[in-house]
Amino acid sequence: MSDKMVPIQGEPKKRVCYFFDSDIGGFHYGPGHPMKPTRIRMCHSLVMNYGLYKKMEIFRAKPATKREMTQFHSDEYIDFLSRITPSNMNSFLKEQHKYNVGDDCPVFDGLFDYCSISAGGSMEGAARLSRDKCDIAVNWAGGLHHAKKSEASGFCYVNDIVLGILELLRYHNRVLYIDIDVHHGDGVEEAFYTTDRVMTVSFHKYGEYFPGTGELRDVGVMKGKHYALNFPLRDGISDENYKSVFEPVIRQVMESYDPSAIVLQCGTDSLSGDKLGCLNLSMRGHANCVRFVKSFNKPLLLLGGGGYTMRNVSRCWAYETGLAAGVELGPEIPVNEYYEYFGPDYELDVRASNAEDLNTPAYLERVKRIVMENLRHVGGPPSVQMTDIPSLPIDEMLEDPNRNEDMESMDERRPQRLLDAHRQADGELSDSDDEGEGGRRDHARYRARDSVNGVDGGNRKFGMGVGIMAPSGSTNTHGAGPSGHTTAARVLSSSHPEPFDMDVDTPTTEPPPNPLELAEVPEEASKDLEAPAPLKTTTTTAEDMVLEESSSGSNV
């Protein structure tokens, strides 16, 4: 195993909790849809076959309940998600339009279970960080940053990030949220737009691009003014240019805000070659953000997000899992159940292309200067008066993990509870490639394992008129901030915006209105959608996924 993992010298050891539910790969958005939950199972296969399971604890989180989800989302919206299915969706046409379900966010079998798994991993990861049971928690099934309080958006139904941050806020004075997805993290920014207890920082493509929010002038309102930072980017940014703005901004944020916990959304649609992305980061350029944020030695929650070229998504997240655990993965991909996806070179690295970088040094410097100026208004970390921590069901589960040990079978020498929590200590003997603790358990080719019956060409396209897959020029903008043109916010007639020095040629569609009063996340956002048509659901094999990988290229 020594050639597969090389320890990173000079880094302190971190306790890593890694969350994975094997059911996540069984969900399917529909034929032709670019979001494929199978990418998480592909990543997990690399994690296991590289031997990373020896360096961390692996957990299957308890799925989030309806009550837990309604800590942020509205009761009516969560009840709707729990009841709608492909077989009864025609009875919910009005609700689908109200909650923006259909098109980009289709109804599929197991929709609510999918949301529960995603949210459960992020909430339990946050809970373990707060109780000092780990230093880094990883949930690649999370990071669904577009979901609103009462609205699905951009392939996201339940905002696991907001739920995780709310859990962290029970124990931490201030939480920093960083988003490196190619799309703006509008759902998280909107949720905390009026508070100084969460600072949101998003680096994203802006200008005729989904979701249309995230302008440089969107800095928060009321108590949260200057606690939302946006760094708009142009097409084709390189590793060097990204690093030249990411590291100085985050370093200044850490000095000014001094958070006690960090949430990093690691959307991989900012990688080169992504089907819906337009940036040009390599795997190592993307992973440098994880390495840099980890260096601050704060409790860190790593989450997934976008990413629509599956072989690159799984490569990048596996590599970043290794960085969290203190090792660098070797360049050669080990044999695994998805091995043929990584051909023809079967190497881990995702390289940048020769695409032109439209982010000139002058442009980046001007944007960075304005972002730094916004940060200077913060003036230091805000003080927070802490109160008694409210009790939730997750507290009992984490405080007494052995409460059900009397129910375990006496015929089992080592219960599954102990096997799940096992971590191989440094210096412990390694198993060989073909035996030992789970090692190489499945050498079968996936083509021989899966039947290839009922293959569907999968040419259906979702949401081409509006949403995350819409072509340039047809952006649907809604959400917090001046760049969200919506009826969701009320304009304060008693106050006026301060003059803002804007000399960056960032594209806007209209001048900013007065500051917005967002006492809570809006129940509804105005939108112009057609009534969704019933969706056809199919059972998808591995062969379908290969076909869809090639066919969905037209979504770019």
Question: What are the pLDDT digits (tens) for 389-445?
Answer: 666 666 666 666 666 666 777 676 666 666 666 666 555 554 444 444 444 444 444
Distance between CA 535 and CA 394 in Å, rounded? 36
According to the model, what pLDDT value does residue 381 have? 77
Question: What are the pLDDT digits (tens) for 263-315?
Answer: 999 999 999 999 999 999 999 999 999 999 999 999 999 999 999 999 999 99
Question: What are the pLDDT digits (tens) for 233-267?
Answer: 999 999 999 999 999 999 999 999 999 999 999 99
Question: What are the pLDDT digits (tens) for 111-141?
Answer: 999 999 999 999 999 999 999 999 999 999 9
Confidence category of residue 518, pLDDT binned at 50, 70, 90: very low
Q: Is the pLDDT of residue 163 over 50?
A: yes
According to the model, what pLDDT value does residue 556 have? 31
**Cβ atoms of 138 and 33 closer than 8 Å:** no
According to the model, what pLDDT value does residue 552 have? 45
Residue 300, strand partner residues: 136, 262
Q: What share of the chain has pLDDT > 70, as a percent? A: 70
Pairing of strands 16-19, 57-59: parallel
According to the model, what pLDDT value does residue 388 have? 58
Confidence category of residue 385, pLDDT binned at 50, 70, 90: low
According to the model, what pLDDT value does residue 387 have? 61
Could you tell me where the beta strands, DSSP code E, fall in 320-459? 327-329
Collapsing DSSP to helix, strand or coil, 116 comes out as helix
Q: Is the pLDDT of residue 536 over 50?
A: no
Q: Is the pLDDT of residue 455 over 70?
A: no
Mean pLDDT calculated for residue range 335-340: 96
DSSP letters, 11-30, are PPP--EEEE--GGGGG----
Q: What average pLDDT does the chain have?
A: 82
CA neighbours closer than 13 Å in the CB half-sphere of residue 360: 6
The structure tokens listed for 505 are 């040629």
Torsion angle of C-alpha atoms 474, 201, 20, 1, degrees rounded to 10: 110
The structure tokens listed for 443 are 């050498």
Q: Can you give the C-alpha Rg of the chain in angstroms?
A: 23
Give the global pTM: 0.76
- Measured CA to CA in angstroms, residue 450 lies from 32, 309, 543 at distances of 20, 21, 8
Residue 223 identity: K
According to the model, what pLDDT value does residue 449 have? 41
Mean pLDDT calculated for residue range 474-488: 53
Q: What share of the chain has pLDDT > 90, as a percent? A: 66
According to the model, what pLDDT value does residue 103 have? 87
Which positions are catalytic? 146
